[in-house]
């Protein structure tokens, strides 16, 4: 049965964001009519209800999108970068005006709790303002030329149309990390969202396309909802797309990388994480418990930065376990739109099955399930995908500990000395986020040293999750390649030119080469 609350929320969100019972999933300067198109359904993980149907692109739509994109790029790249920044700022403001509704859309479709749904939209607003600032800081270096009357410097030019492929768990903000930075860099964007969260993408596209048009901007953002692997396949093989930014599983990312690499295109890959936290005997344990609870339970364990492994000193191990179990037993699991719920549903039945299978695999490898690990039945939401987050006592030798299961499973591993903790920490194939809880500056320093954490993100006395947009986001090893969002990530979206400028009357050659050809 669908609750009154759910229906009310759905109606108000759909109304405010222009979502209908059936929607076009293809935006190329305008929404492509639904007729003659196949459709997919978007389901809410809250109760399994079909939220709406969405038309998917075929190859012809894609080719039209790409010819259109080429024209838009040629227009957009001529607009001065700070002007592009102002346009992106107005897009950010439009998102700010719809923050509550867009956040609720994320809750309905991805199952995030209210504050995380709105937090995701806040992340979009933050990155839009950051991108506006960056639009005046697309700087190049000046080098000293070895030749007289010569200048040597670099400049950055726009790259082209960027393909952004996003996952269900950050159905709005991960697109904006890429799209807003790409836009101020002078690129336009084709967005292929996850089919599991395509309504959110449609809602975002309604808001941003209107804002672009109000600002008198060319329609630099296109949307391509597609079925199965169609969209990813077209984008990864298309030489008209010089950069593909992909967020998703390591397996799919590896496959896509092969295709883009074979045409010598560029990629940014944001793949699996298996994020560990070292909990030293010299830490503030309550702080560690707070950080680990958010890291392991936030977004029901479905962030790429989710804490999946706690590596705990033997002296505080028992106390750690009892405190953590207390937190796990008090958090409310259920409808993510209710204010008191902390753990919402998993995205679908497959995710639920993967969770239960991983728990079984851990058990068969000698892991001890000390909390949860089962399905959770929530009265009135029997068709939702709810689980009781698991805490499993494990050891580094277990195969399952080396894999990312996109669900709330925390493996706890005991350690004796710090070097052992570091070794365990770095013993997995993934390298996204990491953390240490300690008040010992020597341990902190070793975690940051060349033989310390091998991840792209390092956190001291805070959670593996919840990275700020101002930093460059991304990981090492099987987590992938490149960085998104903050710092100098904008360089991935541009092409660098090294310029040598001669303002003299002769041509002196570098390296002292003498070459008198044509002398009279
Ligand atoms: C992801 O899960 O794909 O650090 C990204 C965080 C978020 C981003 C996660 N800002 O948890």
Whether 195 and 127 map to the same domain: the answer is yes
Whether 492 and 430 map to the same domain: the answer is no
* Ligand 1 atom showing the smallest separation from residue 433 Cα: 4
pLDDT, tens digit (0-9, with 9 covering 90-100), for 126-181? 999 999 999 999 999 999 999 999 999 999 999 999 999 999 999 999 999 999 99
Is 39 exposed, middle or buried, given 0-12, 13-18 or 19+ CB atoms closer than 10 A? middle
Whether residue 508 is contained in a domain is answered as no
Q: Which residues line ligand 1 (CB under 6 A)?
A: 169-170, 174, 247, 303-305, 465-467
CA 392 to centroid of ligand 1, rounded, Å: 23
- Number of Cβ within 10 Å of residue 318's Cβ equals 11
Is 309 exposed, middle or buried, given 0-12, 13-18 or 19+ CB atoms closer than 10 A? buried
In DSSP notation, 231-254 reads HHHHHHH-TT-SEEEEES-HHHHH
pLDDT value, residue 3:
78
CATH number, domain with residue 181: 3.40.605.10
Q: Which of 272-276, 393-397, 516-520 has the lowest mean pLDDT?
A: 516-520
pLDDT value, residue 5:
85
Whether 36 and 115 map to the same domain: the answer is yes
Whether 457 and 491 map to the same domain: the answer is no
CA 247 to centroid of ligand 1, rounded, Å: 10
| Lookup: tokens for 121 | 């939209």
User: What are residue 171's phi and psi, to 5 degrees?
Assistant: -70, -10
Whether 244 and 311 map to the same domain: the answer is no
Mean predicted confidence (pLDDT) in 11-22 = 96
| Lookup: tokens for 320 | 């750690």
22 contacts 34 by C-beta, under 8 angstroms: yes
* Confidence grade of residue 507 (pLDDT, cut at 50, 70, 90): very high
* Ligand 1 atom showing the smallest separation from residue 270 Cα: 3
Residue 518 in this model has a pLDDT that exceeds 80: no
Mean predicted confidence (pLDDT) in 362-367 = 98
CA 120 to centroid of ligand 1, rounded, Å: 9
Per cent of the chain over pLDDT 90 is: 97
With CA atoms as reference, report the closest residue to 295 among 306, 284, 311, 308.
Answer: 306
464 contacts 277 by C-beta, under 8 angstroms: yes
Whether residue 513 is contained in a domain is answered as no
CA 173 to centroid of ligand 1, rounded, Å: 9
Whether 299 and 231 map to the same domain: the answer is no
Whether residue 82 is contained in a domain is answered as yes
Considering the chain, what is the average pLDDT of its residues?
A: 97
CA 467 to centroid of ligand 1, rounded, Å: 6
Q: Give how many domains the chain has, as a whole number.
A: 2
CATH number, domain with residue 437: 3.40.309.10
With CA atoms as reference, report the closest residue to 395 among 424, 357, 360.
Answer: 424
With CA atoms as reference, report the closest residue to 219 among 101, 75, 112.
Answer: 75
Whether 185 and 304 map to the same domain: the answer is no
Whether 440 and 492 map to the same domain: the answer is no
Domain with 315 in it: 275-470
User: What are residue 277's phi and psi, to 5 degrees?
Assistant: -130, 130
Residue 492 in this model has a pLDDT that exceeds 90: yes
Whether residue 388 is contained in a domain is answered as yes
Whether 209 and 305 map to the same domain: the answer is no
**Residue among 49, 120, 123, 270 flagged as catalytic:** 270
Whether 31 and 133 map to the same domain: the answer is yes
Whether 410 and 490 map to the same domain: the answer is no
Residue 520 in this model has a pLDDT that exceeds 60: no
Per cent of the chain over pLDDT 70 is: 99
Whether residue 509 is contained in a domain is answered as no
Best mutation site among 473, 480, 485 for ligand 1 pocket (most ligand atoms within 8 Å of CB) = 473
Mean predicted confidence (pLDDT) in 417-430 = 98
Any idea how long the chain is? 520
Whether residue 475 is contained in a domain is answered as no
With CA atoms as reference, report the closest residue to 174 among 91, 85, 245, 267.
Answer: 245
| Lookup: tokens for 272 | 């699996």
Whether residue 512 is contained in a domain is answered as no
Best mutation site among 467, 470, 472 for ligand 1 pocket (most ligand atoms within 8 Å of CB) = 467
With CA atoms as reference, report the closest residue to 120 among 384, 302, 351, 268.
Answer: 302
**Residue among 198, 283, 304, 455 flagged as catalytic:** 304
* Confidence grade of residue 1 (pLDDT, cut at 50, 70, 90): low
Separation between Cα atoms, residue 243 and residue 164, nearest integer Å? 9
131 contacts 154 by C-beta, under 8 angstroms: no
Whether 395 and 490 map to the same domain: the answer is no
User: What are residue 194's phi and psi, to 5 degrees?
Assistant: -65, 140
373 contacts 360 by C-beta, under 8 angstroms: no
Whether residue 340 is contained in a domain is answered as yes
Catalytic residue status for 270: yes
* Confidence grade of residue 2 (pLDDT, cut at 50, 70, 90): low
């Amino acid at each position: 049965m669908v609750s009154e609350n759910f229906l009310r929320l759905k109606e108000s969100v759909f109304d405010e964001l222009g979502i209908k019972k059936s929607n076009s999933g293809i935006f190329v300067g305008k929404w492509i009519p639904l007729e003659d198109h196949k459709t997919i359904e978007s389901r809410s993980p809250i109760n399994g209800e079909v939220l709406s149907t969405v038309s998917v692109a075929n190859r012809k739509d894609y080719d039209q999108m790409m010819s259109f994109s080429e024209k838009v790029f040629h227009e957009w790249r001529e607009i001065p970068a700070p002007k592009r920044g102002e346009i992106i700022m107005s897009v950010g403001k439009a998102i700010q005006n719809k923050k509550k509704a867009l956040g609720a859309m994320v809750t309905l479709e991805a199952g995030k709790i209210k504050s995380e749904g709105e937090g995701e939209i806040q992340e979009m607003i933050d990155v839009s303002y950051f991108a506006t600032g960056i639009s005046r800081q697309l700087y190049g270096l000046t080098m000293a030329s070895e030749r007289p009357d010569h200048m040597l410097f670099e400049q950055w030019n726009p790259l082209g149309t960027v393909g952004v492929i996003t996952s269900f768990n950050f159905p709005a903000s991960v697109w904006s990390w890429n799209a807003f930075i790409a836009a101020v860099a002078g690129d336009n964007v084709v967005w292929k969202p996850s089919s599991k969260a395509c309504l959110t993408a449609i809602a975002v596209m309604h808001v941003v396309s209107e804002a672009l048009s109000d600002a008198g901007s060319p329609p630099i953002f296109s949307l391509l909802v597609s079925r199965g692997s169609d969209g990813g396949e077209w984008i990864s093989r298309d030489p008209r797309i010089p950069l593909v930014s992909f967020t998703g599983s390591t397996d799919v990312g590896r496959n896509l990388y092969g295709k883009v690499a074979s045409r010598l295109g560029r990629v940014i890959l944001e793949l699996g994480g298996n994020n560990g936290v070292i909990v030293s005997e010299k830490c503030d344990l309550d702080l560690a418990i707070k950080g680990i609870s958010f890291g392991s339970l936030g977004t029901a364990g479905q962030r790429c930065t989710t804490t999946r492994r706690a590596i705990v000193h033997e002296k505080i191990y028992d106390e750690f376990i009892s405190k953590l179990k207390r937190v796990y037993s008090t958090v409310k699991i259920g409808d993510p739109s209710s204010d008191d719920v902390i753990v919402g549903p998993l995205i679908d039945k497959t995710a639920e099955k993967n969770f239960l299978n991983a728990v079984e695999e851990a058990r068969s490898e000698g892991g001890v399930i000390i909390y949860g690990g089962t399905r959770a039945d929530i009265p009135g939401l029997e068709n939702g995908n709810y689980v009781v987050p698991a805490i499993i006592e494990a050891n580094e030798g277990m195969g399952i500990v080396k894999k990312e299961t996109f669900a709330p499973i925390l493996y706890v591993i005991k350690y004796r000395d710090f070097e052992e903790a570091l070794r365990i920490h770095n013993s997995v194939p993934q390298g996204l986020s990491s953390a240490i809880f300690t008040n010992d500056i020597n341990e902190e320093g070793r975690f940051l040293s060349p033989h310390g954490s091998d991840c792209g993100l390092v956190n001291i006395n805070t959670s593996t999750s919840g990275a700020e947009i101002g930093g460059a986001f991304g990981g090492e090893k099987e987590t992938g390649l490149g960085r998104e969002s903050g710092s100098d990530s904008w360089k991935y979206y541009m092409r660098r030119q090294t310029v040598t400028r001669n303002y003299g009357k002769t041509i002196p050659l570098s390296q002292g080469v003498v070459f008198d050809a044509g002398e009279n």
